[in-house]
Structure 1
Amino acid sequence: MKRSVLAAAFPLLLCACSEEVGKPATTGEPPGNENDATFEVPVPAEGRTYVSLAKPEIVVPEGDATASTAWDLAFEKLDVFTNSGASGSGEGGAFGPLDAVTFDDGIAPAVPFMTKDESGGAFRDFWAYDPSVHVLWVRYHVYGVRDGDKQWKVQVLGYYAEQQGAPVAAIYRVRWAEVTSAGVGPTQTLADIDGTAGGSQAPEDAPSECLDLGTGARTKHTPAEALTTKDWHLCFRRASVSVNGELGGPRGVTAVDLHAAETKDETLDIVKTRTDDSELPRFDAVGHAELSDPKLVWRGDRIFSALSDYWIDRAAATPAPTDATWLVQSAADGVSRYLLVFDRFDGATADGPGKVVLRVKPEGVPQQ
């Protein structure tokens, strides 16, 4: 019986702009420290609001915003982007959600990486992070993948493997099966898909392995190659799994997490109990009817940040912020880091938060 990692001790290897000016909030609890800033960010119905966290303040980047390092966060409807990766040329990034009390403590726990913005889709939540040992545990969700009139169900079984006597991250194990109106085809399994891309210190153009679910063919592509190639459905790269559709690639593939609604209630302790065998019934239970549910939203990849989807409590009647702390890295120097919490939304609708009220302070400043 295989666990979701080899052992819990394995280390993780892994443009429209608003003209409004942010101002201190006039309601709510005052900051508990002179270094805390309570700040209001109006988010327009269209376009983005850019924020620098150093003061903090709303900024209007000159020229192409993606080439500017004047901003750290960009708010657009119900999304928050960092100035990094696919969103900008800055040295930013973020990590979270962290426990809400982290903001008061002033010090974030050791984190394995700062997440850069990247294109992603249905598979972006396939893991849960254990900060005590820096390990990713797979959730064993079942995903639907659709390519034209063909569709498959896919389950990620593992993220770690042993090679030459040493543990290695981003060596994936997956199982999948084609699903048609006539029934489900045979289950196929791969245990050595190489998503290492040379490791976390390797160049960003190092190739990683991609998979065609129909033929089982495996190819290695750099990120640039993957964006122009139709010979794959899923690409595995470090801690992310890409779908060859929309921003992910030209093939028009879409996917959906059939168990996405469970994510918010899945504690780490729950996820850690799951195994290949215990979650096989969940995989076997998915058939044509489950993949044909009209409520499912099938998408290719789009741009995600560490905050995407997680900063919003979608169980609320109208959008509300999640009770959590976020660690955000400066886009300008890639060294300075800030802790922030979202206190509330004023005037939220189904499409946007209205005005976001947040608190921010440099990391290393405890509550007084």
Structure 2
Amino acid sequence: MKRSILAAAFPLLLCACSEEVGKPSTTGEPPPNEDTGATLEVPVPAQGRVYVALEKPEIVVPEGDASASTAWDLAFEKYNVFTNSGASGSGEGGAFGPLDAVTYDEGIAPAIPFLTKDEAGGAFRDFWAYDPSVHVLWVRYHVFGVRDADKQWKVQVLGYYAEQQGAPVAAIYRIRWAEVTSAGVGATQTLADLDGTAGGSQAPADVPSECLDLGTGARTKHTPAEALTTKDWHLCFRRASISVNGDLGGPRGVTAVDLHASETKDETLDIVKTRTDDSELARFDAVGHAELSDPKLIWRGDGIFSAFSDYWIDRAAATPAPADASWLVQSASDGVSRYLLVFDRFEGATADGPGKVVLRVKPEGVSTQ
């Protein structure tokens, strides 16, 4: 997904704990000219979602269909955080992050290229890094596992651009892949002209793009609606997204995993830009049955992802904990107001959910320094 990941030491942040669940804290007085924001405690249920509006902030219960309501800005479901935007809701929300933890203290988010709206996606959603200076996508050369029942493959995206009539064209994909079994790895196959353009960024939403069956090599073109109902593909390429035919992506039951997802947060654009097909061949060749059988891997079909997905949790912590970062969130109701927030801690976290999430929030533009 499209994120700026900025490295910085997390400062000591002081908070006043809420005396009433779901209400901002009013205890404690910050020093003059400082505002540490309002603290909100959000009990996350074992099943279902809890909704939060950031203006006060407070827990809210949307009337009727929550996806059609603009009364909420964030929704918590187990270890998922959704924004009221895109695939999650009809609001004008969205978010960006992770940002340096100190951004919350400074009160002003750095210049960002866009806000991330919630969207359907899966293991391939971060296959590229964005260069805002020239508006170019660079592939990370991660290796992905793709599984369909008792068959599995390794896949590496090699490129996103191709030259046509002397000019670069986006969303013409190059990939390599190979079947992986307990007996070994099959022959590597490559394609250099997978058409994910879908008519370009200004084309209607129902223009088809190309999909691929990794087992047979068959290539078909489907509209997004067709792809959701057909089983003749494993991966679909559409502009800057690669879909998996499983869960919300389609009916085939395909799952996938980014074998190098843990590297994403430390991959600077300069690092990504040095990689080539040849330099990353060893990375591809190193993946075999043992690597794809690692019990720690989380295989999944396509789901709904937000700017927070897989980034707001500190995966290296001994027990589940929020990442040391801050986030920019846009109001779902007016599409203009913006808030900065940090997650201070979880209380009662388990493998299934964070228990109570304790966060702080304030309008952008309020400094604590």
Label 1:250 to 1:236 Cα distance change in 2 as closer, same or farther (>3 A). same
- Pair 1:121 & 2:136 matched: no
Aligned residues of 2:125 and 2:242 also touching (Cα < 8 A): yes
Equivalent in the alignment of 1:361: 362
Q: How does 1:1-368 map to 2 (within 5 A)?
A: 21-24=22-25, 33-34=34-35, 36-131=37-132, 133-368=134-369
Amino acid at match of 2:303: R
Question: Normalization by structure 2: what TM-score?
Answer: 0.84
Gaps of at least 5 residues in structure 2 are: 1-19
1:269-301: per-residue Cα shift (whole Å, max 9, x none)? 433322211110111122233323344332212
The more displaced of 181-190 and 226-235 is 181-190
Q: Distance in 1 between matches of 2:44 and 2:137?
A: 34
1:47-102: per-residue Cα shift (whole Å, max 9, x none)? 21101122222110011111111111001111101112221222222222122233
Aligned residues of 2:142 and 2:260 also touching (Cα < 8 A): yes
Label 1:298 to 1:98 Cα distance change in 2 as closer, same or farther (>3 A). same
Q: Distance in 2 between matches of 1:367 and 1:198?
A: 47
Aligned residues of 1:112 and 1:134 also touching (Cα < 8 A): no
Amino acid at match of 1:84: S
Equivalent in the alignment of 2:5: none
Question: Normalization by structure 1: what TM-score?
Answer: 0.84
Aligned residues of 1:171 and 1:192 also touching (Cα < 8 A): yes
The more displaced of 161-170 and 208-217 is 161-170
Aligned residues of 1:154 and 1:177 also touching (Cα < 8 A): yes
1:130-182: per-residue Cα shift (whole Å, max 9, x none)? 45555433221111112223221100112334444444443322111122344
Amino acid at match of 1:64: D
Gaps of at least 5 residues in structure 1 are: 1-18
Amino acid at match of 1:304: F
Aligned residues of 1:84 and 1:91 also touching (Cα < 8 A): yes
Secondary structure of 1:154's counterpart equals: strand
Equivalent in the alignment of 1:13: none
Amino acid at match of 2:229: T
Amino acid at match of 1:78: Y
Equivalent in the alignment of 1:10: none
What is the aligned residue count?
350
Q: Distance in 1 between matches of 2:223 and 2:72?
A: 29
Shift of 1:258: 2.1
Secondary structure of 2:82's counterpart equals: strand
Label 1:337 to 1:195 Cα distance change in 2 as closer, same or farther (>3 A). farther
Secondary structure of 2:349's counterpart equals: coil
The more displaced of 175-184 and 304-313 is 175-184
Secondary structure of 2:125's counterpart equals: helix
Amino acid at match of 1:128: A
Q: Distance in 1 between matches of 2:133 and 2:32?
A: 30
Secondary structure of 1:313's counterpart equals: coil
Label 1:304 to 1:186 Cα distance change in 2 as closer, same or farther (>3 A). same
Identity between Structure 1 and Structure 2 (%): 87
Aligned residues of 1:110 and 1:131 also touching (Cα < 8 A): no
The more displaced of 114-123 and 99-108 is 99-108
